[in-house]
Structure 1
Amino acid sequence: MTGTPFRDLTTLVDLGDGRFTATIDPMWTIGPKVHGGSMMSLAAVAARNALLGTDRPESSAPPAGGAVQPLAVSANYLAAPDPGEVSLTATIRKRGKQVSFVDVELAQGDRVAVRGSVTLGVPDSEVPTYATDTALAALPAEPPSDAVVLTDDHPMGRIVHVSRGCDMRIDGSSAHFLTGSQGEPEVRMWVRPRPDDENDADTAALFAIMAGDISAPVTMNRGLFGWAPTVQLTTYLRRRPTPGWLRVMASSAVLGGTWFEEDHTVLDSTGAVVVQSRQLAMIPR
């Protein structure tokens, strides 16, 4: 593994006319299938490259095209691809002074897996005019010594292969399923990209988008195990993350007979909200 596993994932081969290819390493999977948040990041970078071009700046410089980033990525999941080569097709719908819109399809072979819409613009960088405290703000900015570290030999790490490409630590007091008990459908954790990924401004933003789908399904805290397929996911990048640990909270208000929603909130090391997401998923059978 290189020192930039997430940058490797989000580095596309430009075929021209808004067409790209990417190679998804098996580490970016949950079980045998590609992680949904990783595909969101691929759709985001394809849209950004189509809009701004594929020349990447040096890691110490501002992103190409000023500070334009994927502000919102909304995706429908049509199929679950395997790791390996995928193709992406980006179609610019509007190139605006403040807001641009790009549609993206991610396919494997002749099968479309994700159909998404990406909104691009400049994220907030100033102090918010109003912000309310979230429950996540009470979580320490850095994982304490008793946080559960996901490693290859941890039972969860054997399934959540994404932990091989970044540092993931779970607040054990929220992950009741780890001890065979049940609790509220809420999981809290810390994630951080590898140092060289974190030091690249564009990669760090894409990683934050991926973190909007990083948690294990909160249904597990209610004793509902198994694959909980995401049907639709919308992720907002509110601002570019400051280097350091990201705090993540995943929660649900309603677990239905077939469907449930799962919300992610992601704070950076300063406590600023950098990502918010909501997905519609299916209850594990």
Structure 2
Amino acid sequence: MSAPSILTSTRPFADLTTLTDLGEGNFGAVVDAVWTIGPKVHGGCMMAVCAAAARDAIRASGDDAGAMQPISVSASYVSAPDPGEVRLATTVRKRGRQVCLVDVDLYQGDRLAVSAAVTLGVLDVGEPRHQVPLAVADLSAEPPADAVHIVPDHPMGQIVHVAKGCDLRVDPSAARFLAGEQGDPVNRMWVRPFAEDEADPDVALLFALMTGDISAPVTMNRGMFGWAPTVQLTTYLRRRPAPGWLRVMASATVLGDTWFEEDHVVLDQTGQTVVQSRQLAMIPKG
């Protein structure tokens, strides 16, 4: 497998989520090879592209619903596309004053890759009325000096190519697999988009949505390596992220013979919960 080419764009996530209107509810996108895990397109990036298509479909009407954002994306993964051109076919199911519903199918050629149901609405802005203590809040707001910077030459960076399109740093006290050890099925990290991506509020919002799938499979901490294909992923976007580092914690409670669930909780620099997600994935066979 050849590695993705050197990234030259200073706004790679904006490039990913800026779509071409193809007419009749269809949109085109180009997925750079940087947005891959191994040879295949990263699932969270496909979620973000589907969310962008749903948002563009609603904004095309030009009414007040255009101010809504994708607050929930529920995706079923049908096949694993390669980097390159993809087409997004949208169907508006509901255009309401508080909620809009859009179905999005992502194709590569004639092959369906992702089928997503996107809910758009108004994001939270005030303080939560109630919130339980979150383990991810114990992470410092910014990565400490011992955080592992996932750069292209790092063994993890040679597989997790998405680290080329953002700044990704991993908590070594959680990711025991990096030291050849085993631990709980938990991973913690800090992630931040590039400056130009962060400066665009709509792009930064979709980037945060993508981080609901940013962790390497937590099964790696149990000595189970290899591809852990996601079958279904649901991500909630609660509010706009404040500029700065996002803190991410991924965890699982049940690792079965065939299946495991993986949850992500993402906080922004101010400590507000911006993303929650749960996916059902297959135990690696490797």
Tell me whether the two structures share a fold, i.e. TM-score over 0.5.
Answer: yes
Distance 1:211 1:182, change over 3 A: same
What is the match of residue 210 of structure 1?
A: 210
What is the match of residue 39 of structure 1?
A: 46
CA offset digits 1:184-214 (Å, max 9, x no partner): 0000000000011001110011000100000
Shift of 1:48: 0.4
CA distance, structure 2, for counterparts of residue 272 and residue 34 of structure 1: 29
Shift of 1:64: 8.9
CA distance, structure 2, for counterparts of residue 247 and residue 203 of structure 1: 18
Q: What one-letter code is carried by the residue in structure 2 that aligns with 1:151? A: V
Q: What one-letter code is carried by the residue in structure 1 that aligns with 2:150? A: L
Shift of 1:239: 0.5
What is the match of residue 4 of structure 2?
A: none
Answer yes or no: is the 8 Å Cα contact 1:14–1:54 preserved in 2.
no
What is the match of residue 65 of structure 1?
A: 66
CA offset digits 1:134-161 (Å, max 9, x no partner): 0000100000011000001000000000
What is the match of residue 232 of structure 1?
A: 232
CA distance, structure 2, for counterparts of residue 18 and residue 236 of structure 1: 24
Q: What one-letter code is carried by the residue in structure 2 that aligns with 1:75? A: A
Shift of 1:132: 1.7
Normalised TM-score (structure 1): 0.96
Distance 1:46 1:181, change over 3 A: same
Shift of 1:65: 2.9
1:162 aligned onto 2:162: yes
Answer yes or no: is the 8 Å Cα contact 2:39–2:82 preserved in 1.
yes
SS in 2 for 1:44: helix
Task: State which of 29, 45, 52 in structure 1 corresponds to 2:36.
Answer: 29
What is the match of residue 9 of structure 2?
A: 2
The equivalences for 1:82-161 within 5 A come to 82-161=82-161
SS in 2 for 1:205: helix
**Which of structure 1's runs of 4+ aligned residues deviate more than 2 A?**
63-66
Task: State which of 18, 21, 25 in structure 2 corresponds to 1:11.
Answer: 18
Q: CA RMSD in A?
A: 1.3
What is the match of residue 248 of structure 1?
A: 248
CA offset digits 1:200-229 (Å, max 9, x no partner): 110011000100000000000000000000
CA offset digits 1:104-124 (Å, max 9, x no partner): 000101100000000000110
What is the match of residue 58 of structure 1?
A: none
CA distance, structure 2, for counterparts of residue 2 and residue 225 of structure 1: 32
The runs of 5 or more residues in structure 1 that have no matched partner are 56-62
SS in 2 for 1:41: helix
The runs of 5 or more residues in structure 2 that have no matched partner are 1-7
Shift of 1:17: 1.4
Identity rate of aligned residues, in percent? 66
CA distance, structure 2, for counterparts of residue 53 and residue 266 of structure 1: 30
CA distance, structure 1, for counterparts of residue 27 and residue 61 of structure 2: 10
Q: What one-letter code is carried by the residue in structure 2 that aligns with 1:94? A: K
What is the match of residue 275 of structure 1?
A: 275
The equivalences for 1:156-195 within 5 A come to 156-195=156-195
Answer yes or no: is the 8 Å Cα contact 2:264–2:277 preserved in 1.
yes
Answer yes or no: is the 8 Å Cα contact 1:198–1:204 preserved in 2.
yes
